[in-house]
């Protein structure tokens, strides 16, 4: 960032705008952080870290350190400017206190510099403060160290000078309030994943994540000089790729920073992640569509020029050009507008022309300088267009068939009586015997069961025409009612909960992964709109006299045995769903009152993408290694 822009973004106490107090936050936490479950809990950390990242984007912070402490409190340390501490002119208290106690105060709405403040985050550190049992802040600024402590958002230790310092920065430690959150246990992987992503998006920044809860401290450092190029390499880790190094473009134009990295794989899938001000724009937007438009134009122009496309041939289509493409589009703008159902579509119209212009000139130059690479891309797109034509014919065939079959859903489906999709659940069950128990055990008013025989086709490796020829996939598509790919329509979805129910073993994980791959590739909105769930059947049943306990994790056994007297207990280990009778299945896995199910979260799409390509891709060695490493910890295969 230029010096001029740095100056433009100089904040002081005066610019902090105060909007309102925060009593409401503790009453209705979900309004501010989405939920009081795991997602909301981790959101607290991201909220604080986002502020540090803002400092980095403004050019003042190079390093962020996050630690999960023994008591489940979290410490975030950065070397930014430090939150201002002087008296706020209107509020008559220190700016630090304003930032920590007033909603939306923090200079974020001052309109200077690229800010994370988006539709999802940017509620402010004050919300973290309000939802913490306690929070301590230490600011290093102007040669001094300052300290404050809050409890449930109330100031208990007013601003103190605690010493001298030659550095600057902010250190915040907070402990989530267990009165607010269902469970205050942080998950290392959830934090790791998003912090890694942030490190990719802000090249050079050093993000350290430390877990101090175990005897041996776990620590990982995320720092990528290659930025989003490293991100593309990470996504393509186990794939065959070209060109050998991702293509990289970076330009700042009219207060808009544009950065794109891309690389092709020999496979068929399109993996495009776009971001605006470090927020993943799941629903795309002007930056992403500009990227697609520019790519389509460039590849068509070059295909003509290089003679790959003859005069009498039609233009290549966007989807052909993007087959096998992995790309990251990262823009940073002053005033991002987020739109759409999940507020993850960038709406700023000025971005369209800027991104398109940058790509046409920069990527155009690169392709001209490297005609052999350009030719390879053009030829791959041409090949894709030929196959698309073949697949279209195959699809028309299935569509016609479906039209005939629509009146009778597949015979193995045990449908529910309710016709109200919002009330209905579909259990997709591994194997006929478990399917039988589920059919008997369910509440047929709102629960439908579709048993799947054996493993469904590996959709990562197969093309559309083959996928559609597969019996299990076809019945799944018919039962869900939505269609797939471009024909997908959420309005026709017949169940608002699709619950994948597989055994708690490696085979079960595999089937679950296959199903998720299929949803992820061909019915993505099902996942992003939160309709897909994973059932968690118990591993163990402990009986003592008349009492029954179901355990979902091996690790819980010891705790339970310490609690109850070991004498006279019997332990049953479930090898599969098939071993449960209908009543047990109802109690543990079907009954909404007592079952454990997880919503599948597309925030994990990046992890999913990697796990999927490891498990399903062409290279055998990483798959073997992955399965060996995770065979004992089946939960890790959850996506």
In the numeric block, which tokens belong to residue 1? Answer: 């960032």
Shortest CA distance to 82 belongs to which of 199, 153, 191, 165? Answer: 165
44, 56, 85, 99: residue in contact with ligand 0RA (rule CB under 6 A): 99
Work out whether the CA dihedral 374, 378, 383, 384 comes out positive or negative.
positive
430 part of the active site: yes
Cβ atoms within 10 Å, residue 297: 17
106/176 with CB nearer ligand 0RA: 106
At its nearest, how many Å lie between ligand 0RA and the CB of residue 68? Answer: 17
Catalytic pick from 5, 465, 505, 579? 505
H or E, element range at 33: helix 29-33
What pairs with residue 598 in β-bridges?
534
Stretch that binds ligand 0RA, among 99-107, 211-219, 430-438, 577-585 (CB under 6 A): 99-107
Question: For the sheet containing 532-535, what is the strand order?
Answer: 447-452, 425-430, 497-501, 532-535, 597-599
11/626 with CB nearer ligand 0RA: 11
Residue 602 φ/ψ, nearest 5 degrees? -75, -10
Rounded CA gap, 198 and 47, in Å?
A: 13
Tell me: does residue 78 bind ligand 0RA (CB under 6 A): yes
Range list of β-strands (E), 206-294: 206-211, 218-222, 241-253, 256-265, 271-276, 279-280
At its nearest, how many Å lie between ligand 0RA and the CB of residue 92? Answer: 18
51/385 with CB nearer ligand 0RA: 51
Tell me: does residue 109 bind ligand 0RA (CB under 6 A): no
At its nearest, how many Å lie between ligand 0RA and the CB of residue 162? Answer: 18
Cis amide bond preceding 243, omega within 30: yes
11/598 with CB nearer ligand 0RA: 11
107/537 with CB nearer ligand 0RA: 107
29, 40, 107, 267: residue in contact with ligand 0RA (rule CB under 6 A): 107
At its nearest, how many Å lie between ligand 0RA and the CB of residue 91? Answer: 13
116/309 with CB nearer ligand 0RA: 116
At its nearest, how many Å lie between ligand 0RA and the CB of residue 554? Answer: 39
Catalytic pick from 430, 460, 472, 587? 430
Tell me: does residue 122 bind ligand 0RA (CB under 6 A): no
507 part of the active site: yes
In the bound complex, which residue of the shown chain has the CB atom lying closest to ligand 0RA?
Answer: 51
Rounded CA gap, 376 and 214, in Å?
A: 50
Residue 542 φ/ψ, nearest 5 degrees? -110, 125
Q: What is the DSSP letter of 217?
A: P
At its nearest, how many Å lie between ligand 0RA and the CB of residue 137? Answer: 9
45, 46, 53, 55: residue in contact with ligand 0RA (rule CB under 6 A): 55
Shortest CA distance to 82 belongs to which of 142, 157, 162, 15? Answer: 142
29, 40, 80, 318: residue in contact with ligand 0RA (rule CB under 6 A): 80
Query: With contacts defined by CB under 6 A, how many residues of the chain interact with ligand 0RA?
Result: 17
With tokens 């990470």, the residue in question is 234
Rounded CA gap, 499 and 484, in Å?
A: 18
Tell me: does residue 83 bind ligand 0RA (CB under 6 A): yes
At its nearest, how many Å lie between ligand 0RA and the CB of residue 107? Answer: 4
Rounded CA gap, 593 and 531, in Å?
A: 18
In the numeric block, which tokens belong to residue 74? Answer: 């979290």
Angle formed by the axes of helices 188-201 and 228-235, nearest 10°? 130
Note whether 296 and 73 are within 8 A (CB).
no
Catalytic pick from 136, 320, 425, 503? 503
84/122 with CB nearer ligand 0RA: 84
Residues 166-205 that bind ligand 0RA (CB under 6 A): 170
55/430 with CB nearer ligand 0RA: 55
330: left (phi over 0), alpha (psi -120 to 50) or beta: beta
138/430 with CB nearer ligand 0RA: 138
Residues 483-522 that bind ligand 0RA (CB under 6 A): none
Rounded CA gap, 374 and 68, in Å?
A: 47
What pairs with residue 144 in β-bridges?
141, 164
Tell me: does residue 380 bind ligand 0RA (CB under 6 A): no
Tell me: does residue 431 bind ligand 0RA (CB under 6 A): no
Annotate 120-154 with b (16+ C-beta within 10 A) or e (fewer): bbbbbbbbbbbbbbbbbbbbbbeeebbbbbbebbe
36, 38, 52, 447: residue in contact with ligand 0RA (rule CB under 6 A): 52
At its nearest, how many Å lie between ligand 0RA and the CB of residue 11? Answer: 3
At its nearest, how many Å lie between ligand 0RA and the CB of residue 170? Answer: 4
Annotate 377-395 with b (16+ C-beta within 10 A) or e (fewer): bbebbbebbeebeebeebb
Stretch that binds ligand 0RA, among 46-54, 326-334, 356-364, 526-534 (CB under 6 A): 46-54
Apex 579 CA angle, 573 and 582, nearest 5: 125
Stretch that binds ligand 0RA, among 44-52, 174-182, 263-271, 370-378 (CB under 6 A): 44-52
Rounded CA gap, 223 and 235, in Å?
A: 16
Residues 2-31 that bind ligand 0RA (CB under 6 A): 10-12
**Per-residue binder mask for ligand 0RA (CB under 6 A), 124-163, x = binder:** -x--------------------------------------
144/339 with CB nearer ligand 0RA: 144
Catalytic pick from 339, 443, 507, 601? 507
Tell me: does residue 81 bind ligand 0RA (CB under 6 A): yes
Question: What stretches of 409-492 show up as alpha helix (H) in DSSP?
Answer: 432-441, 464-469, 471-480
DSSP 311-342: TTSPPPPHHHHTTTEEEEEEEEESS--EESTT
Range list of β-strands (E), 335-386: 338-339, 345-346
Residues 580-639 that bind ligand 0RA (CB under 6 A): none
10/24 with CB nearer ligand 0RA: 10
User: Can you give the binding site for ligand 0RA, defined by CB under 6 A?
Assistant: 10-12, 48, 51-52, 55, 78, 80-81, 83-84, 99, 106-107, 125, 170
- Residues with catalytic roles: 430, 503, 505, 507
């Amino acid at each position: 960032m230029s010096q001029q822009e740095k100056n433009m973004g100089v904040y002081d106490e005066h610019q902090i705008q105060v909007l309102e107090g925060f009593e409401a936050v503790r009453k209705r936490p979900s309004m501010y952080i989405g939920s009081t479950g795991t997602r909301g809990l981790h959101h607290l950390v991201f909220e604080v870290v986002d502020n540090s990242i803002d400092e980095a984007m403004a050019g003042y912070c190079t390093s962020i350190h996050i630690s999960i402490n023994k008591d489940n409190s979290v410490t975030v340390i950065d070397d930014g400017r430090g939150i201002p501490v002087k008296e706020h002119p209107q509020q008559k208290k220190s700016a630090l206190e304003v930032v920590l106690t007033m909603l939306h105060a923090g200079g974020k709405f001052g309109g200077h510099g690229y800010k994370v403040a988006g539709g999802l985050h940017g509620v402010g550190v004050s919300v973290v403060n309000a939802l913490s049992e306690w929070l301590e802040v230490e600011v290093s600024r102007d040669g001094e160290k300052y300290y404050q402590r809050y409890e449930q958002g109330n100031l208990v230790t007013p601003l103190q000078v605690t010493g001298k310092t030659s550095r600057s920065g902010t250190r915040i430690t907070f402990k989530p309030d267990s009165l607010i959150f269902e469970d205050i246990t942080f998950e290392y992987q959830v934090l790791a994943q998003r912090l890694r992503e942030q490190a990719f998006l802000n090249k050079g920044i050093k993000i350290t994540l430390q877990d101090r809860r175990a005897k041996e401290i776990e620590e990982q450092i995320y720092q990528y000089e290659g930025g989003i190029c490293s991100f593309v390499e990470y996504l393509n880790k186990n794939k065959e790729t070209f060109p050998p190094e991702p293509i990289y473009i970076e330009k700042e134009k009219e207060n808009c920073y544009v950065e794109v990295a891309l690389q092709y794989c020999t496979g068929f899938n399109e993996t495009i992640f776009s971001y605006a001000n470090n927020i993943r724009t799941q629903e795309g937007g002007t930056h992403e569509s500009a990227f697609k438009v520019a790519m389509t134009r460039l590849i068509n122009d070059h295909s003509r020029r290089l003679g790959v496309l003859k005069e009498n041939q039609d233009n290549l289509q966007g989807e052909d050009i993007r087959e096998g493409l992995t790309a990251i589009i990262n823009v940073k703008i002053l005033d991002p507008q987020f739109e759409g159902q999940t507020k993850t579509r960038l709406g700023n119209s000025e971005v369209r022309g800027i991104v398109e212009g940058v790509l046409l000139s920069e990527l155009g130059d690169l392709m001209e300088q490297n005609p052999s690479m350009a030719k390879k891309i053009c030829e791959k797109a041409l090949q894709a267009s030929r196959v698309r034509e073949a697949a279209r014919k195959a699809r028309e065939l299935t569509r016609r068939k479906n039209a005939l079959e629509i009146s009778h859903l597949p015979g193995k489906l045990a449908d529910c009586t309710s016709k109200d999709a919002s009330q209905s659940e579909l259990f997709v069950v591994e194997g006929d015997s478990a399917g039988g128990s589920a059919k008997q055990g369910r509440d047929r008013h709102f629960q439908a069961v579709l048993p799947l025989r054996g493993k469904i086709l590996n959709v990562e490796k197969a093309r559309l025409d083959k996928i559609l020829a597969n019996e299990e996939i076809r019945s799944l598509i018919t039962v869900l009612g939505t269609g797939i790919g471009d024909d997908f329509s959420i309005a026709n979805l017949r169940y608002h909960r699709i619950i994948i129910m597989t055994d708690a073993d490696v085979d079960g994980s595999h089937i679950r992964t296959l199903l998720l791959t299929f949803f992820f590739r061909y019915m993505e909105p099902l996942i992003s709109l939160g309709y897909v769930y994973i059932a968690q059947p118990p591993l163990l049943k402990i009986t003592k006299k008349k009492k029954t306990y179901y355990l979902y994790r091996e690790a819980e056994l010891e705790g339970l045995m310490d609690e109850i007297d070991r004498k006279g207990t019997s332990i049953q280990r479930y090898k599969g769903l098939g071993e449960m009778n209908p009543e047990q299945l109802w109690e543990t896995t079907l009954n909404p009152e007592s079952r454990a199910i997880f919503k599948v979260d597309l925030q994990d799409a990046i992890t999913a993408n990697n796990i999927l390509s490891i498990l399903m891709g062409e290279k055998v060695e990483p798959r073997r290694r992955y399965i060996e490493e995770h065979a004992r910890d089946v939960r890790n295969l959850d996506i």
